[in-house]
Amino acid sequence: MKNFYVSLLFLLVSTCAFAQQDPLYTQYLLNPLVINPAYAGLNNNFNIMVGYRTQWTGLEGQPKTFNASAHTSLVNNKVGAGILVTNDQIGNLKTTEANATFSYKLNLETSIFSFGMQAGVQSFRNDYSSLTILDPGDLAFTGGEQGTRINMGVGAILKSEKYFIGFSVPRLLPTTFENGDEQFELYNQHFYLMGAYVYYLNEHIRLKPSLLLRGVKGAPAAVDFAFHVNFNQMHTAGIFTRNFNTYGILLQTLLAEKYRFGYAFEIPTSSSVGSQFTTHELTLGILFSAFSFHERSFSNF
């Protein structure tokens, strides 16, 4: 059975070499910047966050993702700016990306509309030396593939204290990759539509259902649905499902009114890779008021 999963992962890696896929994130509401550049500076504070996701623990060549970001609002909270660095690895395929993010915000009567862009570089490497090849002389597995490309992405967010709606395409540019005489498509564009709403049960307890639709050419749409319960704006517990073949829990807390911690635990079902290969996602962050025009109160988003 183990050999079956290793073969399955190798097939996935081989497919990704010709169509790189976005990393998965369960805690997208804790740091929407990882999929939408319009979130830069949106909460009118200075934010620093790091995250680590280890998917399908125990499966050889499992996906692993690290991200680090920092963003803040500027010019009396009218614009936002930030940086986002991501390192994603699945098997022998490694992708490192660095982007600068910018946003412009419009204050509407009861909400804020933010339009954002990001620009940066993405480095891609497919290292065959880390694989165990049955036939070392097979020319198809000689050396490896690597390259660097420019990236640009866009996003938009409409939010108030009760709702959050976001749409983004983090990578827009053509993604044809050339390696010697070979040419293939490195990356397919991903489209994200995210929404969340806050129900106030009383002054201490709030309910926050959320939905994330993720679409990519050549694959079925992915749907994440989560239901959170927030206590005193400080502590959150939730449950979620992805395509109804993965289930999990989310825990988030805010300590000393500035330190943020999030943890997600996922269990795939037999229709995915099997419940023995669990997933863990950790997020650590700090938010604070760096400028006089920054807000001292907390936002639901």
* Structural domains present in the chain: 2-288 (2.40.160.40)
251-264 residue pLDDT tens? 999 999 899 999 99
CA distance 65 to 90: 9
Write the burial class of residue 29 (CB in 10 Å: 0-12 exposed, 13-18 middle, 19+ buried).
buried
**Nearest 10 degrees: CA dihedral of 288, 155, 63, 91?**
-130
How many CB atoms are closer than 10 A to CB 275?
12
CA quadruple 266, 214, 105, 158: dihedral sign: negative
Q: How far apart are CA 173 and CA 177, in angstroms?
A: 12
**Token pair of 64 as six digits:** 């692993």
Query: Which band of pLDDT confidence, cut at 50, 70 and 90, is reported for residue 3?
Result: very low
User: Which pLDDT score is estimated for 133?
Assistant: 59
CB neighbours of residue 212 within 10 Å:
23
Question: pLDDT > 70: what percent of the chain?
Answer: 83
For residue 217, count CB atoms less than 10 angstroms from its CB and return exposed for 0-12, middle for 13-18, buried for 19 or more: exposed
CB neighbours of residue 297 within 10 Å: 8
Give me the pLDDT at residue 29, please: 93
CA distances from 245 to 19, 61, 153, 191, 272 (A): 23, 21, 30, 21, 6
Global pTM exceeds 0.85: yes
- pLDDT digit string (tens) for 122-161? 988 876 666 555 555 554 555 567 778 899 999 999 999 9
* pLDDT tens string 185-222: 667 789 999 999 999 999 899 999 999 999 987 778 89
Q: How far is CA 66 from CA 26, 89, 91, 250, 281, in A?
A: 13, 9, 15, 18, 10
